[in-house]
Amino acid sequence: MSLSAQDLSKAPVFDGIGYEPSFYSRSQFVAPKTNYEPLDYGNINTDKKKKVLVVCTEEKYMAMANGKKFSTGNHPVETFLPILHLNDAGYEVDFFTLTGGSVKLELWALPLQDASVSNIIEKYSEQMSQPKSLKDFVAGNFASDTDYVAVFLPGGHGAMLGLPESEDLKKLINWVVKEDKFMLAICHGPAALLAAGIGETAETYPYNAYKINAFPDNIDVTLPEIGYQPGEMPWFYGQKLQKLGVEFLNDNISGACHTDRKLITGDSPLAANLFGEMSAKALLADAKANG
């Protein structure tokens, strides 16, 4: 006799250091297969020097309000579905972390029956083990043989670890704005945009008066109830972005995405496929418009 979702445990799963989501919460939020469908983007990018810079977390555990550790990182669907679409459009990616430490993924969120995701993770496995250092990139005044046309901030609660406090990420974001590049951020990824607010007010924050779709604080409040996390959140990134003048368009998750100037956002794993499509199309359209 098979178990229904309601029969599954709501107790977070201890991994030896911290806690992964309960089996019940995984049944609600982790699908075995994604809705990725490869698209024919027509005149794709052929300039191999034009790439997307992906900033990931190198930290795995979030200390919750009760002191228990949540096993997190970047969400694999929110990271790799967009990259699949970027690849389809002719854009390779380079992985960066703050100091060059390995990329941390929420492995419990892998869609285990999705060959496309498995293959793209394998393709970039070496890069994720030895990503580039954002600290070095910034120290070198962003000099590179690569022409980065966008920065991508994947989701997962790991985007709240280290990145929002990074002066180097602040400099990168300011460089993106100054050079009129695209910023792509999904789910909790916009938490990393808080780095640009270090020492700033709403009036001087580069994304003041921008509108986004992202994972809402009010859902983070409820996640401990189903054992997704082992305790209440230590802080809420949405509140901090709103104080800097960012407007959230959503208070739930439905797969909604939004483009505001050159900031493209999506609300959750449900948005990953559309977010990837929108990002790829926006980069190609901009390249065509600007020769």
Per-residue pLDDT tens digits for 221-268: 999 999 999 999 999 999 999 999 999 999 999 999 999 999 999 999
Q: What is the share, in percent, of the chain residues with pLDDT greater than 90?
A: 97
Tell me, yes or no, whether 6 lies in a domain.
no
Tell me, yes or no, whether 1 lies in a domain.
no
Per-residue pLDDT tens digits for 272-289: 999 999 999 999 999 999
pLDDT, residue 75, reads 98
Per-residue pLDDT tens digits for 145-195: 999 999 999 999 999 999 999 999 999 999 999 999 999 999 999 999 999
Q: What is the 3-state secondary structure (H, E, C) of the chain?
A: CCCCHHHCCCCCEECCCCEECCHHHHHHHCCCCCCCCCCCCCCCCCCCCEEEEEECCCCCEEECCCCCEEECCECHHHHHHHHHHHHHCCCEEEEEECCCCCCCECHHHCCCCCHHHHHHHHHCHHHHHCCEEHHHHHHCCCCCCCEEEEEEECCCHHHHCCHHHCHHHHHHHHHHHHCCCEEEEECCHHHHHHHHHCCCCHHHCCCCCCEECCCCHHHHHHHHHHCCCCCCCCCCHHHHHHHCCCEECCCCCCCCEEEECCEEEECCHHHHHHHHHHHHHHHHHHHHHCC
Label residue 214 left, alpha or beta by phi (over 0 means left) and psi (-120 to 50 means alpha): beta
Per-residue pLDDT tens digits for 5-60: 678 999 999 999 999 999 999 999 999 999 999 999 999 999 999 999 999 999 99
Per-residue pLDDT tens digits for 89-101: 999 999 999 999 9
pLDDT, residue 7, reads 84
Of the candidates 187, 244, 257, 272, the residue annotated as catalytic is 187
- Alpha carbons 31 and 287: distance in angstroms, whole number: 34
The domain that holds 103 is classified in CATH as 3.40.50.880
Per-residue pLDDT tens digits for 52-87: 999 999 999 999 999 999 999 999 999 999 999 999
Number of domains, the chain: 1
- Alpha carbons 109 and 118: distance in angstroms, whole number: 12
Classify burial at 281, counting beta carbons within 10 Å of its beta carbon; exposed 0-12, middle 13-18, buried 19 or more: middle
Model confidence at 2, pLDDT cuts 50, 70, 90, reads: very low
| Mean pLDDT, rounded, for 186-208 | 98
Tell me how many degrees the CA angle 98-259-188 measures, rounded to the nearest 5.
Answer: 40
Per-residue pLDDT tens digits for 114-124: 999 999 999 99
Tell me, yes or no, whether 24 lies in a domain.
no
pLDDT, residue 1, reads 33
Tell me, yes or no, whether 41 lies in a domain.
no
Q: Tell me the two tokens of residue 48.
A: 């191999």
Tell me, yes or no, whether 142 lies in a domain.
yes
- Alpha carbons 24 and 5: distance in angstroms, whole number: 6
Tell me, yes or no, whether 125 lies in a domain.
yes
Determine the structural domain holding residue 102 and report its residue range.
51-289
State yes or no: is 56 an active-site residue.
no
| pLDDT above 90 for 4 | no
